[in-house]
């Protein structure tokens, strides 16, 4: 196992870091957080022109066919600036779902549009119960002739307010959990942005008599959960890359603050308690970042990551919360204000834990993989 980055990967990291630092400074992030759309269409267009959406998709679907490792480098750097964009919902959640379970026609139609930034998508999976289990998908999809009719509500739909198309998980009477491609602008759909601690675009999406042709089913009817599970393993790793980008910058900005903040006649970084806090933050990051790239390497090698993905997410959930909580403590009361950027990541650490499974859920999955 060789986790050394190639020259090309080092170039990718450098170019992404320079781009997000220039195009998405923290003040701009805060402005986008408070906007109705929650992202910048101009920034999204520039990201597409740089080929970020293309990088992992196969060449026959408008992509570059690069390794999963390259994609993780991009997402990690985006995580360092908390870049608001529909990248995760569109490229990762929906793009990988189509890649894993879509028909050849669906892949050829949708993936090139995702790759060039023309199509924004959102995954509508969770419901009011907020369960990560297949039993949590109860919204009915009634078969009526040559189409299905969707009625019900989905919660916590990431970027549902700006999506062109939705992938909806519903339970069909004839088969079970099935995935549907749905026009997000259908008149039977109502999308309402939900308040969230991370100030990200999570929405409630209500469906009333929304008709979906049979040809817009992703994969076979009743096989939707299998497709979601395959997508989720890679998506979990991608989310961890974003979270660890946040961990790294939280450590850096807190160390910089501790060196400058003077108390009792000297910088607070000179006190042993602060030094131990910082050391533990760095240890939590180092352990997690190395594990991330091991799992990314396993994906590129075609290995089974079912256990490792859950172990990684559980670890990163806790590391991100720990690092940002300590960062806020070192900053003091001002650490929770909009004036200091550590608060951006403190809030995101709280919300990111629940994306694709909280710590308890992934502990259970690891235990199950051990036969317990």
pLDDT band at 196 (very low <50, low <70, confident <90, very high): confident
Question: Which among 79, 101, 118 is the end of a domain?
Answer: 118
Structural domain of residue 75, as residue ranges?
7-118
290 & 260 share domain? yes
CATH number (domain holding residue 130):
2.40.110.10
Position 73 in a domain: yes
Question: Which among 162, 192, 221 is the end of a domain?
Answer: 221
Name the pTM for this structure.
0.95
Give pLDDT tens digits for 226-278: 999 999 999 999 999 999 999 999 999 999 999 999 888 899 989 999 999 99
* Distances from the Cα of 78 to the Cα of 100, 186, 246, 276, angstroms: 25, 32, 9, 28
* Distances from the Cα of 151 to the Cα of 210, 234, 342, angstroms: 7, 30, 41
157 & 96 share domain? no
140 & 111 share domain? no
* Distances from the Cα of 190 to the Cα of 123, 155, 156, 183, angstroms: 15, 12, 14, 12
Position 261 in a domain: yes
Cα–Cα dist 87/109, whole Å: 19
Position 173 in a domain: yes
3-state secondary structure of 279: helix
38 & 128 share domain? no
Position 126 in a domain: yes
249 & 361 share domain? yes
What mean pLDDT is reported for the chain?
94
User: Tokens for 372?
Assistant: 């317990």
Query: For residue 20, is pLDDT > 90?
Result: yes
28 & 103 share domain? yes
Give pLDDT tens digits for 30-75: 999 999 999 999 999 999 999 999 999 999 999 999 999 999 999 9
The whole-number pLDDT of residue 319 equals 97
The whole-number pLDDT of residue 125 equals 97
Query: For residue 1, is pLDDT > 80?
Result: no
- 10 Å CB burial of residue 279 (0-12, 13-18, 19+) is exposed
Query: For residue 85, is pLDDT > 80?
Result: yes
50 & 105 share domain? yes
The whole-number pLDDT of residue 4 equals 82
CATH number (domain holding residue 47):
1.10.540.10
pLDDT band at 337 (very low <50, low <70, confident <90, very high): confident
Query: For residue 160, is pLDDT > 90?
Result: yes
274 & 337 share domain? yes
Cα–Cα dist 307/321, whole Å: 22
The whole-number pLDDT of residue 129 equals 86
CATH number (domain holding residue 295):
1.20.140.10
111 & 129 share domain? no
Query: For residue 113, is pLDDT > 90?
Result: yes
For the chain, the domain total comes to: 3
Question: Which among 221, 250, 274 is the end of a domain?
Answer: 221
247 & 343 share domain? yes
Position 1 in a domain: no
Query: For residue 372, is pLDDT > 90?
Result: no
Give pLDDT tens digits for 63-84: 999 999 999 999 999 999 999 9
Position 2 in a domain: no
Query: For residue 370, is pLDDT > 90?
Result: no
Position 283 in a domain: yes
168 & 199 share domain? yes
3-state secondary structure of 188: coil
362 & 327 share domain? yes
Position 77 in a domain: yes
The whole-number pLDDT of residue 175 equals 84
User: Tokens for 246?
Assistant: 């946040």
């Amino acid at each position: 196992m060789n986790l050394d980055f190639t020259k090309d990967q080092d170039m990718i990291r450098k170019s992404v870091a320079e781009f997000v630092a220039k195009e998405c400074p923290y003040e701009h992030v805060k402005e986008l957080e408070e906007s109705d759309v929650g992202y910048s269409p101009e920034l999204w267009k520039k990201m597409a022109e740089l080929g970020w959406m293309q990088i992992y998709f196969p060449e026959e679907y408008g992509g570059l066919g690069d390794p999963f490792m390259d994609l993780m480098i991009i997402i990690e750097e985006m995580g360092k600036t908390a870049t608001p964009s529909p990248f995760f919902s569109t490229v990762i959640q929906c793009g990988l779902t189509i890649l894993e379970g879509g028909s050849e026609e669906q892949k050829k139609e949708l993936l090139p549009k995702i790759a060039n930034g023309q199509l924004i998508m959102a995954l509508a999976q969770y419901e009011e119960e907020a369960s990560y289990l297949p039993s949590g998908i109860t919204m009915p999809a009634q078969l009526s002739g040559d189409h299905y009719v969707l009625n019900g509500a989905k919660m916590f739909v990431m970027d549902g307010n700006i999506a062109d198309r939705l992938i909806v998980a519903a339970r069909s009477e004839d088969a079970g959990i099935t995935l549907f491609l749905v026009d997000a602008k259908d008149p039977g759909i109502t999308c309402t942005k939900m308040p969230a601690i991370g100030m990200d675009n999570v929405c409630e999406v209500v469906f009333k008599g929304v008709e979906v042709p049979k040809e817009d089913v992703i994969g076979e009817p009743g096989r939707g959960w299998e497709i979601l599970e395959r997508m989720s393993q890679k998506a979990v790793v991608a989310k961890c890359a974003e979270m660890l980008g946040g961990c790294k910058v939280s450590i850096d900005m807190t160390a910089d603050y501790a060196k400058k903040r003077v108390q009792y006649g000297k910088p607070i970084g000179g006190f042993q308690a602060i030094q131990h806090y910082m050391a533990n933050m760095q240890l939590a990051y180092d352990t997690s970042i190395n594990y991330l790239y091991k799992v990314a390497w396993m994906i590129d090698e075609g290995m089974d990551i079912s256990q490792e993905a859950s172990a990684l997410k559980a670890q990163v959930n806790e590391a991100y919360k720990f690092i940002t909580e300590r960062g806020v403590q070192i900053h003091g009361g001002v650490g929770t204000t909009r004036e200091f950027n550590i608060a951006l990541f403190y809030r995101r650490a709280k919300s990111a834990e629940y994306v694709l499974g909280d710590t308890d859920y992934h502990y259970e999955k690891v235990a199950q993989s051990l036969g317990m």
